Chains A and B, each alone.
Chain A
Amino acid sequence: MGFYEDVHALGHQMNTGLWGQYTKDDVKRSLCKEQLDKRDLQILLSPAAADCLEEMARKARSLTRSHFGYVMQLFTPMYLADFCINHCTYCSFSSIYDFPRKKLSAAEVRKEAEAIAATGIRHILILTGESRTESPVSYLKECVMILKEYFSSVSIEVNPLSEDEYKELKEAGVDGLTLYQEVYHEETYRKLHVKGPKRIYRNRLDAPERGCRAGFRTVNIGALLGMHDWRQEAFFTAMHARYLQDKYPECEIGLSAPRFRPFLGEYNPEHIVSDRALVQIILAYRLFLPRSGITLSTREPSALRDRLIHLGVTKMSAGVSTEVGGHTQQGGTPQFEISDGRSVREISEMLKAGSLQPVFKDWDMLEAELY
């Protein structure tokens, strides 16, 4: 048993009339409750709730401040390799695109680490495409060994791995896993993932749970918004998070709400997610899971990010390049175009101006042999 069975059971309840049946009064009742259930989540994602965003925002902000205070955790992603055997219709790293692929050598990883650490960042998220020959677990481990010298927390965002492989990486010092399902709707998932191991829906869906079992401290999930009906996708993401949090209470389950961004190819998402919709999703996540971290990436434009920081978000990326070696080299191919290109210092200044404290370090690697 895993979340797959839940997706099926919940999917059957997703009829066309579902979202329209809720009223503003339902929203108000949900906002008065302390513990929200599946129905409340649907209510908060429904069209009726779109008219109650201000009330939702007030409660979301208050919950965020009491559980997380006036602080914002910052991190930077580091792209290690862009070799990929998958063909996903929405990604620049897809195997069908012909561009010079790159993979950082140990010396280059060190240079990137130095450049990122010099900005004050202590939490790093490492990313690769899927290639068992170019970026296998052994390569990730070599990189982690170097990165540990510069950072106090290393997380991974790579292709789904087995529980044993996750354990290996945890032993090497990785403490967090980020893995987006991309699309929860299985049929759409199959359409978008044309070729390669990523086509196997269930292998990806169960990966966060394997990460929890392997003992990662944080597991972060999300749907890439724009690929399918956003209400459904947000609903499944939040239900997935709750499933994991209920089953693995020792693990911090976090959520992201990444919106589709332009990339090398020509795919255009069928489902436009407006700013209002994005705000509704983030607020619904916060209200449904009051203690979960919510990550906001540089996919969103600066002006919007500056507003969203007060509505439930607890982690932000800063000083971002989505190219392999993008902090020290020129001429790479970005995985997608970012919208907020501000430096760590600029993001920090923006947070301070909004009376929030940028937090660079919020973990220590606990080397068993040392302590």
Chain B
Amino acid sequence: MSDSLVIGGQSLSSRLFIGTGKYSRNSLIPEVVEASGSQVITVALRRVDPDSNDNIISHIPSRMTLLPNTSGARTAEEAVRIARLAKATGLGNWVKIEVINDQKYLLPDNAETIRATEILVAEGFVVLPYMSPDLSAALLMKKAGAAAVMPLGSPIGTNRGLRTRELLRILITEVNLPVIVDAGIGRPSEAAEAMELGAAAVLLNTAIATARNPLLMASAFRDAVAAGRKAYLAGLGPVEETASASSPLTGFLG
């Protein structure tokens, strides 16, 4: 059975998106790509240095779809400029909008993100906004032409899992767009949980990059995402509060 995720006209068989930050060496990136089976990789433009002999881009296998992100942007205007610079640098026309003006928790600013989405969609970008899971903001991003929404599971880098689970569930049900859970996933079981909930994909970096064995962790996430997706497609059985009695109370009714 074909179960591809289509974003920006591109058909993806892997639902695990990965990152490029936080690794102890850039040469780990191609190995993690291989172990994760991922097809989409995000990279902060601020780290891209075409003049460097260790340019991060040179470590990314050419088959990958690049998802440049606007890390460092504090306003919609800055995000727009970073996206344009990314395109001018030759990183393609996908962009993950990241607008953060809270350095304490690194929570995204949904209002600025919506504005940046409107501008960049109009300029022909495939826009994937990173957001706080809020239904009305997600609907506005959809209206603005976002290709997906990327709500956080927990604050970035915390490895705390799906603390926003109820809000994610509502987004998955109500926003008729791929919902990609981005940030906060620390364990493969949490990635599986997001997929079981009906997330279209998950994006993670810290959990792999800071694992003792990043390659083994990448492959663990590959399996977990696939398992969670299969479970979602299979339809999870109902969860009961109590055991089902073999002699039900209403059995006498025949």
Cβ-defined contact, B104 with A245, below 8 A: yes
Known: A291-B104, A361-B49. A66 touches B24 (CB 8 A): no
Cβ-defined contact, B101 with A361, below 8 A: no
Minimum CB distance partner of B49 in chain A: A361
Known: A69-B206, A217-B72. A253 touches B47 (CB 8 A): no
The listed residue (B45, B102, B157, B209) touching A250 by CB distance below 8 A is B102
Known: A245-B104, A249-B102. A366 touches B82 (CB 8 A): yes
Q: Which residues B71-95 have CB closer than 8 A to chain A?
A: 72, 74, 78, 80-82, 84-85, 88
Bound Cα distance from A360 to B82, whole angstroms: 18
Q: Is residue A131 within 8 Å, beta carbon to beta carbon, of the partner chain?
A: no
Q: Give A252 Cβ to nearest chain B Cβ, in Å.
A: 5
Q: Give B228 Cβ to nearest chain A Cβ, in Å.
A: 23
Name the B residues within 8 Å of A291 (CB-CB): 103-104, 106
Bound Cα distance from A253 to B103, whole angstroms: 8
Minimum CB distance partner of B87 in chain A: A371
Q: Is residue A364 within 8 Å, beta carbon to beta carbon, of the partner chain?
A: yes
Which of B25, B88, B106, B206 has the most chain A CB atoms inside 10 A of its CB?
B25
Q: Mark B151-164, 1 if CB is under 8 A from A, else 0.
A: 00000011100000
Question: What are 27 pairs between A and B in contact, CB < 8 Å?
Answer: A66-B157, A66-B159, A66-B210, A68-B22, A70-B22, A70-B23, A71-B22, A71-B23, A217-B72, A245-B104, A249-B101, A249-B103, A250-B101, A291-B104, A356-B24, A357-B23, A357-B25, A360-B49, A361-B46, A361-B48, A361-B49, A363-B72, A364-B45, A364-B46, A366-B82, A371-B81, A371-B88
Name the A residues within 8 Å of B84 (CB-CB): 371
Cβ-defined contact, A361 with B52, below 8 A: yes
Known: A250-B102, A360-B52. A371 touches B85 (CB 8 A): yes
Name the A residues within 8 Å of B45 (CB-CB): 364
Name the B residues within 8 Å of A371 (CB-CB): 80-82, 84-85, 88
Q: Is residue A85 within 8 Å, beta carbon to beta carbon, of the partner chain?
A: no
Q: Is residue B21 within 8 Å, beta carbon to beta carbon, of the partner chain?
A: yes
Q: Is residue A355 within 8 Å, beta carbon to beta carbon, of the partner chain?
A: yes
Known: A357-B24, A361-B49, A364-B85. A69 touches B210 (CB 8 A): yes
Q: Is residue A152 within 8 Å, beta carbon to beta carbon, of the partner chain?
A: yes
Minimum CB distance partner of B103 in chain A: A252
Q: Is residue A368 within 8 Å, beta carbon to beta carbon, of the partner chain?
A: yes
Q: Is residue A315 within 8 Å, beta carbon to beta carbon, of the partner chain?
A: no
Q: Is residue A345 within 8 Å, beta carbon to beta carbon, of the partner chain?
A: no
Minimum-distance CB pairs A-B, first 7? A69-B22, A70-B24, A250-B101, A371-B81, A361-B49, A366-B81, A371-B84
Total interface residues on B, CB under 8 Å, equals 32
Q: Give A114 Cβ to nearest chain B Cβ, in Å.
A: 13
Q: Is residue B26 within 8 Å, beta carbon to beta carbon, of the partner chain?
A: yes
The listed residue (B21, B49, B81, B82) touching A152 by CB distance below 8 A is B49
Q: Give B215 Cβ to nearest chain A Cβ, in Å.
A: 15
Name the A residues within 8 Å of B80 (CB-CB): 371
Q: Give B32 Cβ to nearest chain A Cβ, in Å.
A: 13
Q: Which residues B38-62 have CB closer than 8 A to chain A?
A: 45-49, 52
Q: Is residue A350 within 8 Å, beta carbon to beta carbon, of the partner chain?
A: no
Bound Cα distance from A169 to B98, whole angstroms: 26
Bound Cα distance from A368 to B17, whole angstroms: 31
Q: Give B212 Cβ to nearest chain A Cβ, in Å.
A: 11
Total interface residues on A, CB under 8 Å, equals 32
B interface residues, Cβ below 8 angstroms from A = 21-26, 45-49, 52, 72, 74, 78, 80-82, 84-85, 88, 101-104, 106, 157-159, 206, 209-210
Minimum CB distance partner of B186 in chain A: A66
Name the A residues within 8 Å of B158 (CB-CB): 66
A interface residues, Cβ below 8 angstroms from B = 65-71, 120, 122, 152, 217, 245-246, 249-253, 291, 352, 355-357, 359-364, 366, 368, 371
Name the B residues within 8 Å of A122 (CB-CB): 49
Bound Cα distance from A362 to B47, whole angstroms: 5
Bound Cα distance from A355 to B48, whole angstroms: 21
Q: Give B77 Cβ to nearest chain A Cβ, in Å.
A: 8
Minimum CB distance partner of A120 in chain B: B52
Minimum CB distance partner of B106 in chain A: A291
Cβ-defined contact, A362 with B210, below 8 A: no
Q: Give A122 Cβ to nearest chain B Cβ, in Å.
A: 6
Minimum CB distance partner of B22 in chain A: A69
Bound Cα distance from A364 to B80, whole angstroms: 13
Bound Cα distance from A122 to B111, whole angstroms: 32
Name the B residues within 8 Å of A152 (CB-CB): 46, 49
Minimum CB distance partner of B80 in chain A: A371
Name the A residues within 8 Å of B52 (CB-CB): 120, 360-361
Name the B residues within 8 Å of A355 (CB-CB): 24-25
The listed residue (A65, A68, A250, A352) touching B74 by CB distance below 8 A is A250
Having A69-B209, A71-B23, A361-B47, one finds 19 other A-B pairs with CB under 8 Å, namely A65-B22, A66-B210, A70-B22, A70-B24, A122-B49, A217-B72, A249-B101, A249-B103, A249-B104, A291-B104, A352-B25, A355-B24, A355-B25, A362-B47, A363-B46, A363-B72, A364-B46, A366-B85, A371-B81
Cβ-defined contact, B46 with A357, below 8 A: no
Q: Give A244 Cβ to nearest chain B Cβ, in Å.
A: 10
Q: Give A137 Cβ to nearest chain B Cβ, in Å.
A: 24
